[in-house]
Structure 1
Amino acid sequence: MIKRLANRLLRWYLHPDFYPDISGDLEELYLRNRAASPLVADWKYMLQVIVLFRPSLMRTFFKNSIIKDTGMLKNYFKIGVRSLLKQKAFTFINVMGLAVGLAAFLLIQQYVKFEESYDRHFADSDQLYRLTTDQVVDSVLGTRDAMSFAPSGKALVEEVPEIIDATTTYQFGGLIFRKGESFVTEERVIAVDEHFLNLFTYEVLSGNTASLLSEPNSLVLSESKARFYFESQDPVGKTIYLQDFEKDFKVAGVIADPGQNTHYKFDILMAISTIKERLDEEAWNGYNYYTYVKLDKEANIDNIRPMLPALSKKYMGEDNTLVFNLQPVIDIHLYSDLTFEPEIHGSARAVSFLNLISIFILVIAWVNYVNLSTARSFDRAKEVGIRKVVGARRNQLVFQFMTEAFMINVLGALLALGLAELALPSFNNLISKEILDHAWNDEGFLNNVGLFAFVGTLVSGVYPALVLSGFRPVMVLKGKFRNSRQGIWLRKGLVVLQFAASLSLIACTFIVYQQVSFMRSKDIGMSIDQIVGFRGPRSNNEDFAAQTQKRTLFAEELKNHPEIKGVAMISNLPGGGSSDVNSSSGGIKIVGKTDLLEATTYILYVNDEVIDLLDINLLFGRNFDRTRGIDTATVLVNESFIKRFGLEVNETIVNEKIQFGKNPENPKWNIVGIVEDVNRSSLKNAVEPTVYFYNDAPPQVMVKLEAGKYQEGLDALAATWDQFFPSAPLKYAFLDERFDGLYQEDKRFGSVFGAFSVLALIVATLGLFGLSSFMAIQRTKEVGVRKVLGASVGHIIGIFYKDFLSLIIMAFLVGAPLIYFGMNDWLDGYAYRISFPWLFLGLSLFIVLAIALLTVGYQVYKVAVLDPSKTLRYE
């Protein structure tokens, strides 16, 4: 890729008379270097081609234009090189600023492109929709669920002609596979029907495509899992033993790895007919499945959606408040915020913020060039005047200055490519995704480098070129030339823009970090320190009573170890995502006290030790008691459950009864206690109205370890596990780490935001450094006169400060409203949020102010301390 690009560049600029000899010599050197390292050889070849880019070797480019021959073009480049070398400091600032700005812009754009690419790689991806379930009561939209009923996809294909295919899938919570003599827990296993690969067009690497996933007890492995279990062998036709089902499953095929940019990730596919009994049993009674449909190319989704409410009632009953809905698959990752999502989704708002950062950084870099170029107009005025006197036309002068802009931008682009390559490992680590292996061999990245070098030349070069070429030679050569008022105001406006952007980015970074810290440190209503959680083994061939008894004996044995403070069991561990909980949407009421409320109620099954182990505050009533047989018909409820009915939380609710559904014959459950609200999941969401049911031995186990004896406690846990479940691997997680994992996306967003905000400030500071340096040099004689008249160094620095202080205050007035409204809108996306932190706005202003004053002060001080006799020698 690098060598091919270099060859194109060489053939483009090199004179045809020189090309055969020079290209031959370069090829010989390339082959010699390639023997040592192909990568190094490619880059050396590119460097040699760039070094040969000199006027004496160039072809004639333009005919019948403002450039009459190659000599004129050579002259432009020669003058450009001299001008850049004459002002080395300004050249360095411009090139470095453009390089950092462009590298940051392109890296962020690569990440934005990745986030927006989710599920777009499937054939006909714009025709794929997920069937979701909305709760609508009295025309008011309530809970929106990402899941649907098992038969719903088939029903829609039969009822709606525009829906041409559908697939039903089920996501397991982790299954145990045997590899050799050991067991492995696979977390990403989904059951799918034979239509799945018709909609999600993964490449089939091995197996009969027509019959994949059609037989029960069959699997399709991803390419990486096929290597993991069978190494270099062909796995098709071989078997893998599944502990949960206690039987061998046949491998029917191998497909390409799903990749990172899909919302529904998996490693292994299982034929959904394996769990046919479950599908038939739940049918239209429970929506626990992800269903996807494919629309005809000519179908209009706006015509299909109005049909869904009637279909919902046809299959779920006239009194049901649940309604089908269709959601574009390509929108799920960034725009979906439904309950029971298969993974923690991304954020379109966060992507938009990062996109804005990248544009800010690039604009700041371009602004630097415009500011420095126009500020130096006084130095270039005599050059322009003389050129015009000897016959140069304005369009020729424009081309001269555009050539200089082109050279600066090309140098910046090449350096940006190098910086991006160096920063890529750190960037991938920062976003926790491998979005790019190398910048130098990715065609899309290289195309963007070239494109924005060209765009940068136009954006940053046109205005300075027009200004510099427009000087009147009479005024210049008479010494009456002065910088125009319009030019001065433009530079000041651009400086205000730079610092408004820098101020906004710094303030936003502080606010993001504060919100994430707030969520991670807020009291969630329960104690999760020193507690590990894990799922007990499952067996399809062992009856429920036997599994319950074994888990109970296992828990009792753990309590005999002094390193373990307590053991409790629960249906869903705290710290899970939106899908890690049970729920009911059939309506609920407090008998004799409220009407039926059509809303989703969340359900946890717990034993009588959960409340004490997690230190959940019992407000009224009592906890469960396993010695009371009656507790199998009792429940605990949280505050949110009661408040949702508009009732006051007090002891009068205790001993009232709740009933699910509309049938008056449904069971009634006695409320024996009210617990304080606890956040079982992310603080992005409000506490869910929750009912706690008693269960002797739910599937998830929580073990609290003695402080200071973590390792001994974990060793005791592992030994006891092996004693009761020798054929199953133990996989545990600390609850505080589970909660911390819920905020990975927010922490990642804050880290990326912070890192690139610092880069934006560095680029802005580089520009200010150059501008203040040039202004200080330009006003050297003024400083000398002031010193002769008695001005102190501090007084002189203060004069310069006055100009920049006013610009920073203006930047604050521009940036503050944007920060307030933008970040308030972002914070409103969280159920638990901080108040707008005005302190951080002031701190951001202080940081920008300090950096600006230090930068300006340093440059002015160097001039202010000069001896007036030297600065006024030629006056």
Structure 2
Amino acid sequence: MIHHFLKMFLRASLKNASYSLISILGLVIGLAACALISLYVWNERSYDDFHSKKEQIFRVRHDRFTNGELNRQWAAGPMGIGPDLKNNFPEVNRFVRLNRGVNEHKVLTNGDVLFKEGRIFYASEDFFKLFSFPLLKGADSLVLRDPFTMVVSESFAKKYFGEQDVVGKILKCDGKQEYVITGVFKDVPENTHLKFDALFSFESLLKILGPKETEELMTNWGWEGNYTYVELNSSTSAAALQAKLPAFVEKKMGNTLREWNEWMEFTLQPLSSIHLYSIAPDELEAGGDGKSINFLGVIAAFILIMAWINYVNLATARSMERAKEVGIRKVLGSGRSQLIKQFLFESFIIKLIALCITAVLVVLLLPSFSDMVDRTIDLAVFGMTRVWVLIIFIFVLGVIGSGLYPALVMSGFMPVSVLKGRFQNSLKGIYLRKGLVTVQFVSCIVLIIGAFAVYSQIQFMRKSSSGVDMEQIVVINGPTATDSTYSSRLKTLCQSLLQYSDVKDVTVSTDVPGHHIRNSNGNARLVGQDVKEGNMYQAIMTDENFIRTYGLSLMEGRNFSGNLKDQWRTAIVNETAMKLLGITDPEKIIGQSMYLWGDTPEIIGVIKDYHQESLKQAIKPLVLVYDTEVTDFYSIKIKSSSSLKEIIGAAKVKYGEAFPGNPFEYFFLDEHYSTQYQSDQRFGKVIGLFTLLAVIVACLGLLGLSSYLVSQRTKEIGIRKVLGATVAQIIVLVSREFILTILLSNSIAWPIAYFLLKDWLNGFAYRIDIGLLSFLIPGVCILLIAILTVAAQSIRAANTDPVENLRTE
């Protein structure tokens, strides 16, 4: 029987080769697009999925409120929150704390081998008991138990010691403290938000801080420097524990928080949600966007459904060509069930061919696609049982879902009517095909509108003025290892750089534009204001050259004087900070003092608001505090791009002389600032690519369907040509119903696109307006594409000799 079915399939396919190729091509594009998006979505959703206790692990993040309004959300929290939860709630099995330490970057040395490391944390001794990072050497309960011990990754060990056994070896940190290596762990996979190359024991940090400071930090809930993870009992409901936390906060800190007109809330964030659904600015690494990933998943489903719709439309439209075949086979004794089996078998073969071609295509395209989305996506995912279950499910669903209806239609033809030539397509079938085409174009129009809006928003953000002059500014990362001579060394470095004629300015600061400001004060206010009027302000410690180097505009007052006696005694605020302090006239704030970390610096100037971060973020109240001894960033403003290489080379030499033992690292400020938009640009590229594929799939279906419908009207076209109809009139005749379908599709797609875009754009503090052009341009584009596709078939039919058209009938 299968041999017979295969023979019939080959005969029908060869007879209508063009339609078969269109069906297969549409399925291949749809399956390949769906597969690539699914692999990306799967990869994003797989973050931290490998931990054996993933269902029991939660991160304790917290929100801070001032005057009842949310002013910040932190992934990190107080040092003491982990022990406090463990001691007060039996639901908590254990806790783990991570801390970057005083310096985010550390210089590690083994003799002459020296590297600057940025992925090192202080970690609690239960770290390897909580998380499933395999230890290759050392015991999970011992490796992080003692002070000044550390564990390293395989690649980290080889970088410093080659192929030697590293257990017991010593590394020196920042030229001061020595750490003994007690274990080696397998390199951390890409699909985790916890990316680290080495861990110091948390006891090391406590020893460095000393008993007095440790005690203060353990009881001070205002210091957010620790990432705390808890493991709950398997029988514990996270929601039930969460409900107990407000009372816990009230008991521990209620009076103190009310005194400062503040409040805090702790949230148990599931480990699996951190990568896609965290908006905290202090994340360990930039995460994904759950909303975008969900949207891409919908796109994958749309494209696959569109490919299936193509198959259904073409198969049912071609049913009349096979009507006589069905009639003859029924007369010869074939039952309807046998015919259904045959047509389902044909659907199976076509889908199998498309699936095999898709598999090859995905393997070839995956490396390029991985580069596009900036993720390491490999074929290892196909080793997972559940992936194969999903593939088989989609394949079977495609075979049955898109093959059953055409099979039922063709097997239901009545032999007498068919053989007498009185058969024609039913109105029900025609309406179904029109409905399916409408669904295709609704999907296409929504995607095109979305792609157009994403592109417009990205361009808007990139072209909007940030208020900062970032051209030809080179930023050097400050040293991690310093001593009591730092201030004089820094001064010497800056003066030596300014000796070069092409160096316009040099400034030092704790943050630079494009960098999230790490310093903030939760109860800043003017001297004389009530404590309840305090608010959250961000602060950058910098010198007198900051405003000039970055081209900031001073609205009122003066710049820092350069007098070292003014350190922490003078401050400059931005417009937003001034208004939050209750003053609208810049002149009236000059000379007033404000409370800031226990000091009361005098406000000497007001600068215009500028975008410290991307346009996703609203401009926050900012205070510039005069401090010339910061160690974070040195920014060099260069006059001419032609001298960039020379100045960087000279800066490397001077930096090495000033801070020996510290690696020289630099970046260009404009490039650094642009990296904030990389994830949005990647999303825009992905949306654009798959929108294009969706349009191609829709056009393939339209091409096949219009070609078939034109072939069914050859007699009518011939008669109209004889009666004097022009080619243009024939194009209008054939295109009319497709144009009406697309107009209907636009009326359905526009409201859907509007609500989707409104939701997406709400994630941006500064955004484009969704105007009529945002819908008209994509709508007109899809209309023109459809008209051109149908017109190509119509012109060919219209230019055919009417005699030939009538002869075919």
Normalising by structure 2, report the TM-score: 0.94
The answer to whether the Cα contact below 8 Å between 1:80 and 1:404 also exists between their aligned partners in 2 is yes
Distance in 1 (alpha carbons) for counterparts of 2:157 and 2:715: 77
Q: How far apart are residue 119 of structure 1 and its match?
A: 1.5
Distance 1:874 1:521 in 2: 60
Whether 1:382 and 2:324 are equivalent positions in the alignment is yes
> In the alignment, what sits opposite 1:159?
88
Contact 2:702 2:786 in 1 (8 A): yes
- Give the residue type in structure 2 aligned to 1:715: G
Distance 1:181 1:364 in 2: 61
Alignment of 1:240-319 (within 5 A): 240-242=171-173, 244-276=174-206, 277-278=208-209, 280=214, 282-285=217-220, 286-316=223-253, 318-319=255-256
Task: Give the % identical residues.
Answer: 36
Q: CA offset at residue 452 of structure 1?
A: 2.3
Query: How far did residue 598 of structure 1 move?
Result: 5.0
- 1:657 deviates by 1.8
Question: Deviations for 1:90-148, whole angstroms, at most 9, x for unmatched residues?
Answer: 11111111111111111111111111111121111111111122224565544221111
Aligned pair 1:751/2:680, yes or no? no
The alignment partner of 1:212 has SS state of coil
Match of 1:94 among 23, 41, 55: 23
What is the alpha-carbon distance in structure 2 between the residues aligned to residue 135 and residue 245 of structure 1? 37
Alpha-carbon contact 1:772-1:859 (below 8 Å) kept? yes
Shift of 1:182: 4.5
Deviation at 1:711, TM superposition (A): 1.0
Partner residue in 1 for 2:753:
819
In structure 2, what is the Cα distance between the partners aligned to 1:866 and 1:622? 82
Unaligned runs of at least 5 residues, structure 2: 258-262
2:653 is aligned with 1:734: no
Q: Secondary structure at the match of 2:695?
A: helix
**Contact map agreement 1:93 1:770 (CA 8 A) in 2:** yes
**Aligned mates of 1:160, 1:416 — CA distance in 2:** 53
Distance in 2, Cα, partners of 1:88 & 1:649: 77
User: CA, structure 1 residues 518+866, in 2 after alignment: closer, same or farther (shift >3 Å)?
Assistant: same
1:175 to 85, 106, 109: 106
Q: How far has the Cα of 1:270 moved from its partner?
A: 1.3
Match of 2:610?
678
Change (3 A) 1:477 1:248: same
Q: 1:708-758 CA distances to partner (integer Å, 9 max, x unpaired)?
A: 321111112112112222322111111111111111211111111111111
What are the superposed Cα offsets for residues 398-418 of structure 1, whole Å, 9 maximum, x if unpaired?
Answer: 111111111111111111111
The equivalent of 2:399 in structure 1 is: 457
Aligned to 2:414: 472
Larger deviation, residues 140-149 vs 765-774? 140-149
- Classify the secondary structure of the residue corresponding to 1:109: helix
Q: Conserved in 1, the CA contact under 8 Å of 2:107 and 2:480? A: no
Deviation at 1:291, TM superposition (A): 0.9
Shift of 1:500: 1.4
Secondary structure, counterpart of 1:820 in structure 2? helix
Distance 1:438 1:250 in 2: 36
Which residue in the other structure is 2:572 paired with?
636
Distance change (3 Å), C-alpha of 1:118 and 1:597: farther
Q: Residues 528-677 of structure 1: matches in 2 within 5 Å?
A: 528-539=470-481, 542-543=483-484, 546-577=485-516, 580-585=517-522, 587-593=523-529, 596-597=532-533, 599-627=535-563, 629-630=565-566, 632-660=568-596, 666-677=598-609
Aligned counterpart, 2:622: 690
**Whole-angstrom CA distance in 2 between matches of 1:192 and 1:183:** 23
By how many angstroms is 1:594 displaced?
5.6
Question: Please, what TM-score do these two structures have when normalized by structure 1?
Answer: 0.88
Residue of structure 2 in register with 1:68 after alignment: none
- The CA deviation string for residues 832-855 of structure 1, in whole angstroms up to 9 with x for no partner, is 111114324222122212221221
Within 5 A, what are the aligned runs for 1:751-830?
751-830=685-764
In the TM superposition, 1:77-116 aligns within 5 A as 77-116=6-45
Aligned twin of 1:405: 347
* 2:76 matches 1:147: yes
Match of 1:8 in 2: none
The equivalent residue for 2:139 is 208
- Tell me the residue number matched to 1:701: 634
C-alpha distance in 2 between matches for 1:672 and 1:737? 32
Against the structure 1 CA distance between its residues 283 and 692, is the aligned structure 2 distance closer, same or farther, given a 3 Å change threshold?
farther
Q: Deviations over 1:311-359 (max 9, x none)?
A: 3344445221233332212111111112322222211110011011101
Once residues 495 and 355 of structure 1 are traced to their aligned partners in structure 2, the CA distance between those partners, rounded to angstroms, is: 21
Runs (5+) with no aligned partner, structure 1: 1-71
Residue deviations 1:56-105 (CA, integer Å, cap 9, x gap):
xxxxxxxxxxxxxxxx3322222122111211111111111111111111
Q: Could you say what secondary structure the match of 2:200 adopts? A: strand
SS across alignment from 2:687: helix
Rounded to whole Å, the distance in 2 between the matches of 1:555 and 1:332 is: 41
The alignment status of 1:359 with 2:301, answered yes or no, reads yes
2:7 partner amino acid: K
Kindly provide the amino acid, as one letter, of the partner of residue 640 in structure 1. Answer: T
Instruction: Out of 816-825 and 166-175, give the one that drifted further.
Output: 166-175
- Cα shift at 1:789: 1.1
Return the match for 1:417 from 351, 359, 364: 359
Alpha carbons 2:128, 2:141 under 8 Å: kept = no
Distance in 2 between residues matched to 1:678 and 1:608, nearest whole Å: 18
**Two-structure CA RMSD over aligned residues (Å):** 2.0
